[in-house]
Structure 1
């Protein structure tokens, strides 16, 4: 395959392999849950909503707020304090 990018299917197979290799049930884990978990951990550890927005590729900060399930007022306050 000449593409430098992974397809969704290829990525899914890799995740299944990782999960299986550590003895967990692959049906309980997926590519989206890993994406969401990573974004949530970055947000919790840094409080940097703008960085999470950029990493997720969201054009609107409100989309990131909804995706993370955080309170809008808290998120907007943090976004205003965060310089890019």
Structure 2
């Protein structure tokens, strides 16, 4: 419900880019949480069935994981 309230405030292109970013970073976040919890969580593989808070949290974890991987790659590339 939180994203729906935010969506009313955003213009359609902004909301579309937000939704695309959430979709893009959901899967890296999902993979990180699966590896950390040894496959126990998250239980739902479908973003549509997940609670919005879980969806946003996994997307945030995905952003952190991707940024961390890029920083590590840049450090090792030197």
TM-score band w.r.t. shorter chain: under 0.3
Under a length normalisation based on structure 2, what TM-score does the superposition of the two structures give?
Answer: 0.27
Greater helix share, structure number:
2
Under a length normalisation based on structure 1, what TM-score does the superposition of the two structures give?
Answer: 0.26
| Structure of greater relative contact order (alpha carbons < 8 Å, 6+ residues apart) | 2
